[in-house]
Structure 1
Amino acid sequence: MSKNPFAGLPNNKFGNAFDLNSLKAPAAGESTIAYGKAVTQANLVSDFVKESNNKVVILLCWSPRSAQAKEILEILGKLESADQNTWLLGTVNVDAEAAVAQALQVQSVPVAMAIIQEQVIPLFESVPPLDQVRLVINKLLELAAGKGIGKAPENSAVVETPMEPEEEAAYAAMEKGDYAAAKAAYQSWLKCKPNDPVATIGLAQADLMNRINGLDFALTLKNSKADDLTSQMMCADIEIAQGDYEAAFNRLIAAVKSFTADDRDKAKAHLLQLFNLVDPADPRLVKARGQLASALF
Structure 2
Amino acid sequence: MSSPASRPVPPAAASQINLHGAVDLSSLKQRPAPAAPPSGPAPGAPGAPGEAPGAHPLRVTVTEANFQQLVELSAQVPVVFALWAGYSPASGALLDVLEQIIESYAGRLVLGTADIEAFPQLAQAFQVQAVPTAVAVVKGQPVPLFQGGAEEQQVRALLDELLKVAAANGVTGQLDAVAAETEAGPAPLPPLHQAAFDAIEAGDYAAAAAAYRQALLEMPADAEAKAGLAQVELMARLQELSGPDADALRQLAADQPDNLDAQLGVADLDIAGGHIEDGLNRIVSFIGRNFGPERETARIRLLELFDVVGTSDDRVAKARQGLARVLF
TM-score by length of 1: 0.46
Larger Rg: 2
Q: TM-score, normalised by structure 2?
A: 0.42
